Structure 1
């Protein structure tokens, strides 16, 4: 069965220049476009989460039963609405999620539409950019069952078909405690490691394979996933395998008949250094102003700043900044990260007066 449309090369999205942002045309039509977008009608009226996927430049509802499941060839918008405990005011976090194989066009569209959603909400949202495999802690907290990433685009997915029509897929469970990453990988024997747990989904038969060095959290997460998957599937059988007691001739290994793709791993999300940069209209770029002892006193209301923490990037927009400086936090941070080794880091854009616990922690000395 075909996997769907062939996506562009890995990290194609990183080369996007987001040129539409900040243009005269964009400024003129943004509000009108936001009010006319059918997907935004009625959103943000009560606490909860809403997810959309970008399909042919359009914003399309993502099924609630698949919240937390993302395809690496697609881009999504996630709106989290909460209520302030003291004032009952509704607060918004608007995220867009980029699959590693999402195209430049999809990246540009999802970024633009997220800003448009913020405009529809009268600029009340905190904007976030998330990249597959390197999501912020805030984004991960929305999905109690964790995030599952699968290969291909959603149109090549596995919903609404009988088990016999499924194409085999291999899911890896890796992590500790509540931070277990679930990711579809090629069905290659060389990718199956003793330190992790895997589920091989053959449609009418599902195997859970526990590596000899895996941890109990990975086992438990895989077991939960397996039970849920069987519930959705209906007629599928399952078997749990332990590496040390499973014959090399078992059907599990026979189904691992694909070749391993190039290593998709990135640099580890480590490092604890940070630096503060200020936006310069003259150079249309951020320039470093401080690399130690950063506090909130360093953020002047008349300017726009970028706080680089090594694992996340924040753009802080002062209330007294000029209109041209206030716009385009996401594309400016994206441009900045294009010159950095960890271009996939989360981006958060905060307007002065908005509350963000992660930014407050990062801006503390």
Structure 2
């Protein structure tokens, strides 16, 4: 940022140039930068501005602005944080999306910046000390919720705070207790273990015992006795009453309001909305019940934008809806996919690149339908953990676990289930991540055994491993980046899968290199590429991908007209992985020989 408007705070000078987080706190009605050593520490009596910058491959920075409001923050500080978030967006060229983050109700995007979690601290941030002073260690009870992002909240230190559905952490001076409700999920327990480790290392300098308390399993367990001693002795936790279950709000009603220069809301549309309703000289509020958006026209001033956000927050307070609603502020041209989804026929516009051979025909078809078709820009995908560790993979075969040899570890069958153990260097010691991969065609008994086998392996592992269940076809990016090169074949090898095929009297489609097979090649780099066997029919082909067709006598590589150049490189690399002796015939979409179509049934 080289040019600053007079309305933009000088504290934002140089912001957004380097990738990563930058955080400011409101202190005495002034913006104060928060040092990196204090990132992730949020005081409940303060309000913060958080900027996350990502540099894309094109060199263009992408910004997200969040303003975090502590539950005990002064109203004047909260209002100032909202204004400063707008100023920061203006300083960055009015392309950032701004999110209001309320303590305990943060968005997953915000929580993803702070691993493994944030634990709000009572008190007010002070740039002089940066921490709270206290002579005695305060015992605290925390609840952990969420399978992906972890919501950590301090609850009253009382037996009545415990329940069967959640995971709790009791943090004492000499020991940390992890209490797992009997109805809590494996993912929540695994995430809570990460939080325990975080507390142990950051609040106890690693010098603290950790004990796990299983809900209902108390016989002759000294740790359980010590845990319940903090609550005056053991007593059963009552079951949740039906009234405790909250009804989901009705999200069907969507209303659009125009906000005038005096901050008055005037309804201008409902439900059936289109982009033409948005005037680039005005600001609007889109009320989606549980989500609120403020859309700010490109030609509006910072003062008008501040007025629109203040008017929206006042509107929510007047209806008693301020708490628990996510408020997102958008500038004309930087709308999120969720916002666009509420408008009928929002124009489909993507970043421009020149088309390669054969793309003009496809583009012409889309243009006839009213779309401005251009290629989507590539984005960097950064792994969350070190991906240079060691890998072990077992195949589930009933009661047996079969360890796969190194050359077979990245070749999975969709009719089988597998356990993946990934060991990588952490902070001073090795960390373990376990996946139970469940093939889309696997037998239910094998899936149940896979979870059981994974729990057994975890029990024999030191430290605090993370567990995850992955379904074939819905793998997270991290899974692909760990395995690097993955091939998923049709069919299966487990005895239960073979038995089911035999009982049903259907043909076994398990991969055989002597038969016809079609593979879709996908991925982002040589360290993240996959070949997925799909049905060998013409309808499996997609212009955005490249494919390998194996007919038994010939090998074809098929290049879709909308596929990226990097996909062509991955296609060649994947050929070498599947079978380095193959000599393929390369065909482009639209120039296929008859033998190619005959192999796919016409």
Classify the TM-score, shorter chain. 0.7 to 0.9
RMSD: 3.3
Shift of 1:343: 1.0
Matched, 1:331 2:292: no
Distance of 2:118 and 2:228 partners within structure 1: 26
Secondary structure, aligned partner of 2:341: helix
Distance of 1:288 and 1:94 partners within structure 2: 28
Distance of 1:167 and 1:324 partners within structure 2: 44
Matched, 1:51 2:31: no
Shift of 1:65: 5.2
1:210 is matched with: 180
Q: Does the aligned pair in 2 maintain the 1:151–1:185 contact within 8 Å?
A: no
Distance of 1:323 and 1:98 partners within structure 2: 21
1:191 is matched with: 161
Shift of 1:359: 2.1
Shift of 1:185: 1.3
Distance of 2:75 and 2:342 partners within structure 1: 30
Name the CA shift for 1:144/1:201 in 2 (closer, same or farther; >3 Å).
Answer: closer
Shift of 1:327: 4.6
Matched, 1:354 2:354: no
1:304 is matched with: 283
Name the CA shift for 1:191/1:45 in 2 (closer, same or farther; >3 Å).
Answer: same
Give matches, 1:1-365, under 5 Å.
31-32=5-6, 34=8, 36-37=10-11, 40-64=12-36, 67-84=39-56, 88-153=59-124, 165-175=136-146, 177-232=147-202, 233-246=205-218, 250-256=225-231, 270-273=249-252, 274-281=254-261, 284-321=263-300, 325-344=304-323, 345-363=325-343
Distance of 1:322 and 1:48 partners within structure 2: 28
Shift of 1:181: 1.6
User: Mind listing any 5+ residue stretches in structure 1 that lack a counterpart?
Assistant: 1-29, 258-264
Shift of 1:220: 0.8
Shift of 1:321: 4.8
Shift of 1:234: 2.2
Q: Does the aligned pair in 1 maintain the 2:86–2:306 contact within 8 Å?
A: no
Distance of 2:163 and 2:185 partners within structure 1: 13
Report 1 or 2 for greater relative contact order, CA contacts < 8 Å, sequence distance ≥ 6: 1
Q: Which deviations, in whole Å up to 9, do the C-alpha atoms of 1:18-57 show, x marking residues without a partner? A: xxxxxxxxxxxx94474533xx343210222222232333
Shift of 1:160: 8.7
* Comparing 242-251 and 343-352, the one that deviates more: 242-251
Shift of 1:116: 3.3
User: Mind listing any 5+ residue stretches in structure 2 that lack a counterpart?
Assistant: 233-243, 346-602
Name the CA shift for 1:152/1:251 in 2 (closer, same or farther; >3 Å).
Answer: farther
TM-score normalised over the length of structure 2: 0.48
Distance of 1:228 and 1:161 partners within structure 2: 20
Distance of 1:321 and 1:153 partners within structure 2: 35
Q: Does the aligned pair in 2 maintain the 1:212–1:242 contact within 8 Å?
A: yes
Name the CA shift for 1:77/1:321 in 2 (closer, same or farther; >3 Å).
Answer: closer
Distance of 1:60 and 1:357 partners within structure 2: 33
* Comparing 144-153 and 234-243, the one that deviates more: 144-153
Q: Which deviations, in whole Å up to 9, do the C-alpha atoms of 1:175-206 show, x marking residues without a partner? A: 3x214321111211110112111111112211
When Rg is computed on C-alpha atoms for both structures, the one with the higher figure is 2
Name the CA shift for 1:268/1:313 in 2 (closer, same or farther; >3 Å).
Answer: farther
Q: Does the aligned pair in 2 maintain the 1:285–1:336 contact within 8 Å?
A: no
Shift of 1:167: 0.9
Distance of 2:85 and 2:326 partners within structure 1: 15
Q: Which deviations, in whole Å up to 9, do the C-alpha atoms of 1:233-266 show, x marking residues without a partner? A: 2211121111212379823233247xxxxxxx9x
Q: Does the aligned pair in 1 maintain the 2:259–2:308 contact within 8 Å?
A: no
Distance of 1:269 and 1:351 partners within structure 2: 30
Secondary structure, aligned partner of 1:244: coil
Shift of 1:78: 0.7
Shift of 1:320: 4.2
Q: Does the aligned pair in 1 maintain the 2:86–2:305 contact within 8 Å?
A: no
Name the CA shift for 1:343/1:189 in 2 (closer, same or farther; >3 Å).
Answer: same
Distance of 2:313 and 2:33 partners within structure 1: 26
Report how many aligned residue pairs link the two structures. 322
Shift of 1:279: 1.7
